[in-house]
Structure 1
Amino acid sequence: MLQHNILLICRSFKKYYGTFCINLIGLSTGLTAALFIYLWVHDELTVDTFHEKDRQLFQVLKNTPTESGIFTMDGTPARLAEALAKEIPEVEYAASVTNSDWSSGKGLISYNGTRINAEGQFVSKDYFNVFSYSFIQGDQKTALSDKYNIILSENLAMKLFNTTDDVVGKIVEWKHEGLDGLFTVSGIYKQLPANSSIKADMLLNYELFLEKNPKLEDWRNSDPSTYLVLRKDTDVDRFNTKISGFIKSKNKNSEATIFLQHYSEKYLHNRYENGKPAGGRMAYVTLFSIVAVFILLNACINFMNLSTAKAMRRFKEVGVRKVMGAKRRTLIFQFLLESMLMTSLSFIAAVVLIRLLLPWFNEITAKQLSLSFDPRLIMGAFGIAILTGVVSGSYPSLYLSNFNPVAALKGKLNSHIGELWTRKGLVLFQSMISVILMISTWIVYKQIELVQTKNLGYNRDNIVYFEMGANDAIKDNKAFESDLELRLQEVKRIPGVLNASNFRHSITNRQGGTTDVSWEGKDPNNSIEFTDLAGGYDFIETLGIEMKAGRSYSRDFAAEQSKVVLNEKAVEVMGLKDPVGKVIRIWGEDQEIIGVTKNFHFQSLYEEIKPLFFDLSVNRRVSKIMVKIKAGSERETLEQLGKLYAVHNPGVAFEYAFLDSDYQALYESENRVAALSKYFAGISIVISCLGLFGLAVFTAERKKKEIGIRKVLGSSVFRIVYLLSGEFFKTVFVSLLIAFPISYMVTRKWLDSFAYKIELSWWHFVGTGILVLLVTGLTIGAQAVKAALANPTKSLKEE
């Protein structure tokens, strides 16, 4: 019986070849999009979940009250992990790790003449009890027992030694941020999985970091990140209540509170507004999961509509089968089998398409996705295919199997009002989803355009930066300052260089800060967190930051390191009038205000501008040099910079980055979403148009005699085109009226996550509506005109 049914289905596919092709293209396209999204979502959901103590592993986040609301950050006091482990019994292990601002600057590691720029992190003694690493060599328990121990990744060890064997015990030299010295290799760890957010090439002892940065011992400063492993069965809500005021117990003037977030949730839930979770990448995971469902539904709707629309062709087949004794459940099984077979063919086509398009998809998403034999992945993909077959075949099988055999054989089977409204409703749903996707994609693009073109208060164009490297002969800070000045002057003499300076912190997304700032008239109970930005002479000028009052740092004045430059926001929160010349106290030292800059964005546009002061750094081992290059001379200037770099750092590759690339990286998620939305919206439109085209063909065929009679009676071509396409346009127009308010709510909610955003305008919606109506007209208009121009005698002489 199964073989017989399959034979009938194959004959049906052959007989209704046009319908078969439309369904195959629609379902395979929908399945391809859904499976791509499934691969992407699966990868996103597994980031950082590989750690053995994943469910007990948390990161400590800090909430600080500000004038514009509560600011949440991952920078915490340097001794927080140690204090929590000692004083809170629920904490099994705690680890401190230098955050991205400190670790993002690469240092220079060398061995026997091989010199490599590498990125390191300083981690405390319990780090390997918190995070899961697999060692190739060395003992995790003792690897950080000495302050001058260093643990290398498998990749770095291969670059440095060309092997991972017998490496432990070897002495390497590392230079970074004044932490220069000889280090003993105490371990080699296997490269972490691709779905790990930890990107360090090596790990060093946290105590050495604090020794070189004693200011961080103060509980008023925040920079490193803190991670905890809680004992099993710990109530996290109660624990959060318990530790909320822990920082205040160490610093009575602090208003900051702390709380926990699951470490593996940090990647997806990385945004907070006013101290509360406000989405992050998880919003995009949810968004694209919904998009996948809607795209599949669109494809299924096509199948349903075309199957029921061609019912008039198959009612005699159903009538004969019923007269011959076929039960309704047998017919339901046949039509469901037809749907499953169509879905299976579409699934095979989708897998082939994914194989071909996966490299392109990986390039767009910046991932390393693959069609692996992961049981969960395979089960998920098959589940999507089976569900698609059942959903797409359910309504047609119930509809076709319900025909009255007598009426069917007499040819008196007419469409009832319920069927027509169901079909219209499905078309309306398809159009509505396409419109929502189109409007959302447009809004995302306009917001990204704003982000890319907004005046940040500084000029990031044609600014390149690179690691300064280290001169082995330098032993003290004064000699370093002279060497730094010499190098900057050499850089400035290169043709095409407009200006140059040195800096340490991230310029595009500076985190960290301090509350150790006081001034005359400050409320002792008021704790305000300031961000500091470390740079040298000409730092402000190289970035093109405008001064509002006073001056910036200059070599023409003495004792500049006892001077400070603030931004407008800092002056505002301090309540200072005529601030230039006044003295404030930072980190226990008097600092004279010599200038005030206009506000500029040193964090993402998700955040309001915060109070900031510039920290002049010329005799500390600042790791990076920034160069402003004349437009049009980038290639030649970079070549000369590379040659100069090679003079001071022989054997080390010249690695540089552009500041505008760093800025774009802040919105990588949004850029990926914009690119993916564009393609998925296009797929949804194509599927909807396929459905409309198929329905237009069947409508024209079903009404061909009526059209012939109308033409004989003198009806115009325009009137006949309106007859065939009018209902479609009405349905699409209603879908626009429903889609507009939904689109507004969805896009408004997304835009509200930005501190700086575009304004939604009526033309965003009307423009999309006109485009949709135009596409609808082109899709069904050609078929309608063809039917209207057909010779009426051909249709009237049949039967």
Structure 2
Amino acid sequence: MFRHTLLLIFRNFRKYRSTFFINLTGLASGLACAMLICLWVMDEYRMDKLFSHDARILHVLGNHHQEGGIKTALATPGVMAEALKAEMPEVEYAVATRPPGSMPRFTISSGNEHYKARQMFASADYFKVFPFPLADGNPETVLKNKKTILLSESTAQKLFHTTHGLIGKPVTWRQEETFTISGIFKDLPSNVTDPFDYIVSYDVFLDNFNVHWDNHNVHNFVILKPGANVAAFDAKIKDFLKTKIDFTAVTLSTQPHFENYLYGKFTNGVQDGGRIEYVRLFSLIALFILLIASINFMNLSTARASRRMKEVGVKKAIGAGRRSLILQYLGESLLLAFMALGVALVAVFLLLPFFNTITGKELSLFADMRMTGIFLLLTIVTGLLAGSYPALYLSGFRPVMILKGQFTSTIRELWVRKGLVVFQFSISIVLILAVIVVFLQLRFVQGKNMGYDRENVVYFFKEGKLRDDSRQFMQRLREIPGVVNASNATGNLTTHWGTTTGVEWPGKQKGLNIEFGCQAIDFGLIETMGMQMAKGRAFSPAFPTDSTAVIINEVAAAAMGLDDPIGKQVDFWEEKVTIIGVVKDFHFKTIHKAVTPWIFYFRPDQANAVVARLARGDQQETLRRIESLFREMNPGSIPDFRFMDEDFRTVYVSELRVGVLSRYFAGLAVIISCLGLFGLAAFTAERRMKEISVRKILGGSAAHIVLLLSADFTKLVGVAVCVALPLGYLITRKWLDGFAYRIELQWWYFALAGVLALVTAWLTVGSQAVKASRVNPVQHLKD
């Protein structure tokens, strides 16, 4: 019986080759898309899940209560870890870290080998909280000594060309201090979100940076003892900082370390999404594309049911039960699904390098054997989903009516088929609209005036001798051909800057707490960045008093309630300073949030980065000259050039990737939908061929016949447009709400999405309609 059923399935595939090809292509495309998304989603869920005790590793967060709401930050006071360990009996270990994402890359050297690497500062218990495996060294003691350093295997290989016998070897850090290697750790896995190349003792950070209870510049982690209640611990530490300093507007809370990657967005102190929103979005897209592909199978199978009704009638007449027929047709759809799986695997294998480039990941098809089970489950579910309705439908035919030739399509069947077509195109139209909105918003972001000119601006951090005195370097740098202007700053306007609430001004309301971005700069920074002054002036060597002066932006002036701030004195970090200028507002990092109040203060000695504007043209030659000067004046160190426009793009990397992926997935959804429409149109034309022949003999024109065959499908797509556009509005509106500055949804976005869907449908159906209108009526009327 099994052999007989299998033979019938293959005969049907061969007999209805066009239907088979459409179904195979649609299912294979849907499975390939779902498999790629599945690989990406699984990798997203793997991020920072590294150890068996991940659930007990908590990141201590700071909730800053400010005017207008609560801002949640990952950084908290750098002296807090030891206090939590000493005063909270629930804490097994506590560790303070300064991760690489919040620091510039520094040079480490051994002999003539120099390497710019990502460093991490970590306190002594780091490997008790995060037990990354060591290739050499004792995890209990590797960070006990202040003058020790740990290297990754790849970093050790670059500096020493080996990973063995390195314990006790010296390494120079920033051309300033010499450390002794205490351990070698294995290269970090790809699911670490903020990877590092070497670790330096946290005590070194304490020596080099300002750390106190009111300075939030460190990531603190605790690991709770087994059985400790996280909610109770959160309640206990909420007001912990108020026991350490007289006044603070910061409360504490915790979040499991591995959750921050996916659940890193907070609104008013409450967790409110993050990357998980994109994970859910693309999971839904994968589901919908599989549904669209399955609908093609359902529609074409039920549409061609009249071709198989005698087979069903004969089988039922000789005793076949409905159960056996259902199993036969489900077996047919499952076999087709597994054939599609083979095609999909080949497609995924070929597309994976391209997909990795788009997503910025290193995904592998079968890196995790669990994926094999997931792919098989996807295939089985798809096969059962696609075959369920046709199996129930075909097995329900009454044999007497079939064998008498009295079978006709029911109204319910037609409505189901039409409903499925409407569903297909509704999803496709929503995706088309999303692509339009994402593209226009990203174009708006790229083209928006950020308040400064980020093009052709390069920056790099100072090390060694340049940290102590860079005046001669800056003078010679400005003389290099191709350098338009240059200055010093603490980091730049997109990364590596600080914040403070330590600002007081005349008339400030009691209890008012406003966070200001703050940045130490040198003469010429505002001019180098192409900023515009709204009032007053920039820092200038002509004014010796600028060491006690500050420049604020327009938002800061408004927050202080100062209509005419020039000449006003304010307390900045308990020092009297004078406002000498107001710079026009600029977006320091992202337009997801409103412009932040900002203070520039004149401290060239604190400015750790060089910012230079380059002339258009041969910028590589200019960079080579700058590097030569850097090496000449700071032997043993190398500059780490970063362009500000590249930093700007990384801020929106998630949106850019979503934009690219959404275009491909929307296009795929439309193609699969059109495949189904193509098959239905071809079948409809074939079924109505005698009617078309009669109409042609009676004088019907080709245009009339094309309109006749296209009308029904046009109505269905029209209904899909009406269903999809309101849904698309809600989805795109929610996504745009994540930006403080965004485009406004215009009517023509929706009109364009609808027109594109209609035109695509017309082209798909029209090709079959035109073909049908050209037939020779004699060939079909002579039967």
Aligned-partner SS, 1:604: coil
Cα deviation digits, residues 748-782 of structure 1 (max 9, x gap): 11111111111011111001101111110000012
**What residue number does 1:522 align with?**
508
**What residue number does 1:609 align with?**
595
- Asked if the contact 2:706–2:769 (Cα under 8 Å) also holds between the matched residues in 1, the reply is yes
* Stretch of structure 1 that moved more, 772-781 or 94-103: 94-103
- Asked if the contact 1:68–1:608 (Cα under 8 Å) also holds between the matched residues in 2, the reply is no
**What residue number does 2:567 align with?**
581
Query: Is 1:766 aligned to 2:736, yes or no?
Result: no
* Stretch of structure 1 that moved more, 50-59 or 568-577: 568-577
Q: 1:657 aligns with which of 619, 642, 649?
A: 642
- Asked if the contact 1:546–1:598 (Cα under 8 Å) also holds between the matched residues in 2, the reply is yes
2:24 and 2:180 map into 1 onto residues whose CA distance is: 63
- Asked if the contact 2:459–2:492 (Cα under 8 Å) also holds between the matched residues in 1, the reply is no
Alpha-carbon shift at residue 253 of structure 1 (Å)? 2.5
Alpha-carbon shift at residue 652 of structure 1 (Å)? 5.2
Amino acid in structure 2 at the alignment position of 1:182: T
Aligned-partner SS, 2:477: helix
**What residue number does 1:201 align with?**
197
Cα deviation digits, residues 105-131 of structure 1 (max 9, x gap): 111111122111122121122222221
Alpha-carbon shift at residue 506 of structure 1 (Å)? 4.4
**What residue number does 1:56 align with?**
56
Alpha-carbon shift at residue 350 of structure 1 (Å)? 0.3
Aligned-partner SS, 2:77: coil
Q: 1:28 to 1:782 in 2, by over 3 A?
A: same
**What residue number does 1:371 align with?**
365
Alpha-carbon shift at residue 680 of structure 1 (Å)? 0.4
Amino acid in structure 2 at the alignment position of 1:602: F
Question: Unaligned 5+ residue runs, structure 1?
Answer: none
* Stretch of structure 1 that moved more, 352-361 or 79-88: 79-88
What is the RMSD computed on CA atoms of the aligned residues?
1.9
1:327 and 1:213 map into 2 onto residues whose CA distance is: 81
Equivalence map 1:112-191=2 (5 Å): 112-175=111-174, 180-191=176-187
* Stretch of structure 1 that moved more, 348-357 or 518-527: 518-527
Aligned-partner SS, 1:224: strand
2:577 and 2:219 map into 1 onto residues whose CA distance is: 28
**What residue number does 1:238 align with?**
232
TM norm structure 2 = 0.97
Aligned-partner SS, 1:223: strand
Cα deviation digits, residues 523-544 of structure 1 (max 9, x gap): 4533332221233221121111
**What residue number does 1:223 align with?**
217
Alpha-carbon shift at residue 146 of structure 1 (Å)? 1.9
Alpha-carbon shift at residue 709 of structure 1 (Å)? 2.5
**What residue number does 2:661 align with?**
676
Task: Show structure 1 runs of 4+ deviating over 6 A.
Answer: none
Q: 2:448 aligns with which of 447, 454, 470?
A: 454
**What residue number does 1:787 align with?**
772
Query: Is 1:398 aligned to 2:392, yes or no?
Result: yes
1:126 and 1:526 map into 2 onto residues whose CA distance is: 38
1:335 and 1:582 map into 2 onto residues whose CA distance is: 83
* Stretch of structure 1 that moved more, 191-200 or 542-551: 542-551
- Asked if the contact 2:490–2:496 (Cα under 8 Å) also holds between the matched residues in 1, the reply is no
Alpha-carbon shift at residue 4 of structure 1 (Å)? 1.8
**What residue number does 2:576 align with?**
590
* Stretch of structure 1 that moved more, 319-328 or 486-495: 319-328
Alpha-carbon shift at residue 599 of structure 1 (Å)? 1.5
* Stretch of structure 1 that moved more, 717-726 or 115-124: 717-726
Amino acid in structure 2 at the alignment position of 1:150: I
**What residue number does 1:192 align with?**
188
* Stretch of structure 1 that moved more, 30-39 or 399-408: 399-408
* Stretch of structure 1 that moved more, 548-557 or 191-200: 548-557
Aligned-partner SS, 1:561: helix
Amino acid in structure 2 at the alignment position of 1:253: F
1:437 and 1:745 map into 2 onto residues whose CA distance is: 13
1:280 and 1:599 map into 2 onto residues whose CA distance is: 27
Q: 1:278 to 1:753 in 2, by over 3 A?
A: farther
TM norm structure 1 = 0.95
**What residue number does 1:485 align with?**
471
1:677 and 1:344 map into 2 onto residues whose CA distance is: 27
Query: Is 1:542 aligned to 2:528, yes or no?
Result: yes
**Percent sequence identity over aligned pairs:** 45
- Asked if the contact 2:101–2:194 (Cα under 8 Å) also holds between the matched residues in 1, the reply is no
Alpha-carbon shift at residue 18 of structure 1 (Å)? 0.8
Aligned-partner SS, 1:581: coil
* Stretch of structure 1 that moved more, 754-763 or 88-97: 88-97
Question: Unaligned 5+ residue runs, structure 2?
Answer: none
2:557 and 2:37 map into 1 onto residues whose CA distance is: 48
**What residue number does 2:5 align with?**
5
**What residue number does 1:310 align with?**
304
2:138 and 2:555 map into 1 onto residues whose CA distance is: 49
Cα deviation digits, residues 180-236 of structure 1 (max 9, x gap): 31111111111110110122211112222122223x21x222111121212233333
**What residue number does 1:323 align with?**
317
Alpha-carbon shift at residue 390 of structure 1 (Å)? 0.4
1:585 and 1:750 map into 2 onto residues whose CA distance is: 40
Alpha-carbon shift at residue 695 of structure 1 (Å)? 0.1
Amino acid in structure 1 at the alignment position of 2:180: T
Query: Is 1:778 aligned to 2:763, yes or no?
Result: yes
* Stretch of structure 1 that moved more, 242-251 or 286-295: 242-251
- Asked if the contact 1:60–1:226 (Cα under 8 Å) also holds between the matched residues in 2, the reply is yes
Aligned-partner SS, 1:437: helix
Amino acid in structure 1 at the alignment position of 2:289: I
Alpha-carbon shift at residue 311 of structure 1 (Å)? 1.0
Alpha-carbon shift at residue 410 of structure 1 (Å)? 2.9
Aligned-partner SS, 1:465: strand
1:653 and 1:207 map into 2 onto residues whose CA distance is: 25
Equivalence map 1:349-428=2 (5 Å): 349-428=343-422
Alpha-carbon shift at residue 556 of structure 1 (Å)? 2.6
Alpha-carbon shift at residue 165 of structure 1 (Å)? 1.0
